[in-house]
Amino acid sequence: MILKCFILVFAFLLSACAASGVREVTQNPQFPRQHELTETPFFPQELYHCGPAALATALNAVEMDVSPDQLVPEVYIPSRKGSLQIEMLAAARRHGALAVKIEPELGAVLKEIEAGNVVLVMQNLGLSWAPSWHYAVVVGYDLDKELIWLRSGTFERFEMSLSAFQRTWARSKYWAFVALKPGDLPASDEVEAVISALISYEKTAGAAKAKVAYAAAAKRWPDNLVLLTGLGNSNFVTGDLTGAASVFRKATSAHSDSAVAYNNLANVLLAQGDVLAAKESAEKAMRLADNNQMLKSQIQKTIDEINAYSVKK
Amino acid sequence: MNFVKRLFSTFLAASILFTGSIQTVQAAMISAEQVAESSITSQGNQDRTLIVAALSREDVQSALVARGIDPAQAKDRVAALTDEEASVVASQLDTAPVGGIIGAIVLVFLVLLLTDILGFTKIFPFTRSVR
């Protein structure tokens, strides 16, 4: 009896406080009060297979046709009875999706939902000292009722209070990502996250898809040197020399001190057969490289190729 | 002896890595990755990461195999990782959290039920948190 009372009092005391970060979004007029992506497909998980199930949900939501069973050998580790976060990102890329990690705050999740992107989250449904790690996909929320809905485990529309979600999500250090079609971008304005996603993406997705993805990002952040380099290089690799040249020209005018931009422009010009302009650009790159030895040796290779080309002629 | 071995393998990995990269680089184009890295880390750091990543690949592979993953699949899985991710995986395979809903719940039912109701956890789907 005494224990019961104690528990009740304890519960009463704690029930008054919402998880930190929840009030910020419920009182933020910037978000629509509720939004749900009801069309999101659902794949109920089999024992321990929440990783493959959640990933299949996120990929099918962007029309990438893959089943949880196909994903099991790609992300599941039998001895750990689960899936690693890094492999979740890698498997999304393998299936052609650009996997962008989002900012560690509830507002970022809502922003993506509002923009139509489901969010794959990692939660610890247990306690920090007795973890029960779980992957699920956030598909909707209601700020007035303070609720959030997920495709989770065997539940097609798993309902959680925003506070409970926030606490279970916080234990994974707010780990979450969106899987996007190449050419789409996350709603959040974090260029660094998009860049790191793109760099990993171009390694597995191939130049054609990388080109589409880089083009979209370079359109949104037009002066970013990394994005321009990625776009120019993927144009070059896919044989679009005119496109590559115009991108690197733009890079040299936006970043007139960038040795990389001039070096890559020189390579494109050489491929176009314009040896004189190529040489001029490579020499400019060499001057700009200053005392960066690694860069200098790469530019020297460009100059060697230009010289070899003129000798051949 | 072990130290000499390690030194030698580091050297070997580095030399294989660099000759490899020279042959496979597309013309003399500089990659977006290099541009992104140079804005964050210094030169020495980059090289170290490269060597660590090269050494780790084998580790990652055998580590995955030892944990019940088909070798052919393991190879594909490692290939899908970036160098940086691969070395992270190698160092954390046994400690990084993995998602698996059942986990190791050998806990007192009441404790979790209570924390569920309070909204700190969400073990039982049938509970409704008070806040």
CB B97 within 8 A of CB A169: no
The tokens for B47 are 């090289």
Contacts of A134 in chain B (CB under 8 A): 99-101
The number of residues in chain B equals 131
Q: Is the pLDDT of residue B9 over 70?
A: no
Contact: A305, B102; criterion CB under 8 Å? no
Q: Is the pLDDT of residue A188 over 60?
A: yes
Size of interface A-B (CB pairs under 8 A): 211
Mean pLDDT calculated for residue range A212-223: 96
How large is the average pLDDT for residues A220-239?
95
Mean pLDDT of chain A: 90
Q: What is the pLDDT at residue B26? A: 53
- Residue type present at position B58: E
Res. A293 pLDDT band, cuts 50 70 90: confident
Which of A297-301, B17-21, B31-35, B124-128 is least confident?
Answer: B17-21
Contact criterion met (CB < 8 Å) for A267 and B69: no
pLDDT at A150: 96
Partners of residue A290 in chain B, C-beta under 8 Å: none
With a cut of 90, say whether residue B3 has pLDDT above it: no
DSSP string, A182-209: TT---SS--HHHHHHHHHHHHHHH-HHH
Residue B123: which residues within 8 A CB-CB, separation 6 or more? A125, A126, A132, B105, B112, B113, B116
CA distance B24 to B31: 12
The DSSP code sequence of A66-101 is: --HHHHHHHHEEGGGTEEEHHHHHHHHHHTT-EEEE
Residues of A in contact with B82 (CB under 8 A): 199-200, 203
Mean pLDDT check: name the lowest of A142-146, A176-180, B119-123: B119-123
**Residue A96 region by backbone torsions, left for phi larger than 0, else alpha for psi between -120 and 50, else beta:** left
- Taking phi over 0 as left and psi of -120 to 50 as alpha, with beta for the rest, A151 belongs to beta
Q: Please tell me if residue B64 touches chain A, with a CB cutoff of 8 Å.
A: yes
CB contact under 8 A, B118 and A14: yes
Greatest CA span in chain A, whole angstroms?
97
Q: Where are the alpha helices (DSSP H) in A76-176?
A: 85-94, 106-114, 162-170
Q: What whole-number distance in Å separates Cα of residue B34 and Cα of residue B26?
A: 14
**Which pLDDT value is given to residue B117?**
62
- Whether A20 and A37 have beta carbons less than 8 Å apart is answered as no
Domains of chain A and any CATH numbers: 19-180 (3.90.70.10), 206-312 (1.25.40.10)
Bridge partners (DSSP) listed for residue A84 = B98
Query: How far is Cα A101 from Cα A89, in angstroms, rounded to an integer?
Result: 9
pLDDT value of position A206 = 87
A115-130 average pLDDT score? 90
Average of per-residue pLDDT values in chain B = 56
Question: According to the model, what pLDDT value does residue A120 have?
Answer: 97
A188 touches chain B (CB under 8 A): no
b vs e for A131-168, b when ≥16 Cβ sit within 10 Å of the residue's Cβ? bbbbbbbbbbbbbeebbbbbbbbeebebbbbbbbbbbb
Question: Tell me: the pLDDT tens digits for B16-68?
Answer: 444 433 333 356 888 888 888 765 444 434 444 444 454 455 665 666 566 66
Q: How confident is the model at residue B130 (pLDDT cuts 50, 70, 90)?
A: low
* Phi, psi at B115, each rounded to 5°: -65, -30
Q: Is A48 exposed, middle or buried (0-12, 13-18, 19+ CB in 10 A)?
A: buried
Compare A196 and A6 and report the one with higher pLDDT.
A196
Query: Are the C-beta atoms of A201 and A98 separated by less than 8 Å?
Result: yes
The proportion of chain A whose per-residue pLDDT surpasses 70, expressed as a percent, equals: 94
Pick from B105, B107, B104, B129: nearest CA to B119: B129
Query: What is the model's pLDDT at position B80?
Result: 66
Question: Rounded CA gap, B116 and A226, in Å?
Answer: 46
For residue A77, the model assigns a pLDDT of 81
The pTM of this model reads 0.75
Q: Please give the residue of chain B at the shortest CA–CA distance from A74.
A: B77
- Nearest residue, CB atoms, A85 vs list B33, B73, B96: B96
Please give the average per-residue pLDDT across A250-273, as a whole number: 95
Local structure of residue A127 (DSSP, 8 states):
B
Q: CB of A58 within 8 A of CB of A118?
A: yes
**Predicted confidence (pLDDT) at residue A226 exceeds the cutoff of 50:** yes
Q: Residue A281, SS3?
A: helix
| Percentage above 70 pLDDT, chain B | 8
Give chain A's end-to-end CA distance (angstroms, integer). Answer: 97
Does A9 have pLDDT greater than 70? no
Q: Which of B45, B67, B76, B131 to mutate to test the interface with A (most CBs of A within 10 A)?
A: B131
> How far is it, in rounded angstroms, from Cα A43 to Cα A61?
11
Mean pLDDT along residues A300-313:
86
pLDDT band at A203 (very low <50, low <70, confident <90, very high): confident
Residue A182 contacts residue A205 (beta carbons within 8 Å) = yes
Which positions in chain A touch B44 (Cβ < 8 Å)?
A: none
How confident is the model at residue B87, as a pLDDT? Answer: 60
Interface test with A, best of B21, B122, B123 (most A CBs within 10 A): B122
Residue predicted with more confidence, A245 or A79: A245
Share of chain A above pLDDT 90, in %: 72
A260 and B28: CB-CB below 8 Å?
A: no
In angstroms, the CA A72 to CA B39 distance is: 37
Contacts A16 to B, Cβ<8 Å: 131
Question: Is B80's CB within 8 Å of A94's CB?
Answer: yes
Length of chain A: 313
Q: Per residue in A28-66, pLDDT tens? A: 999 999 999 999 999 998 887 899 999 999 999 999 999
DSSP-based three-state secondary structure for A9: helix
Residue of A nearest to B67 (CA): A79
Assess A60–B contact: CB distance below 8 Å, yes or no: no
Say how far apart CA A283 and CA A289 lie, in whole Å: 10
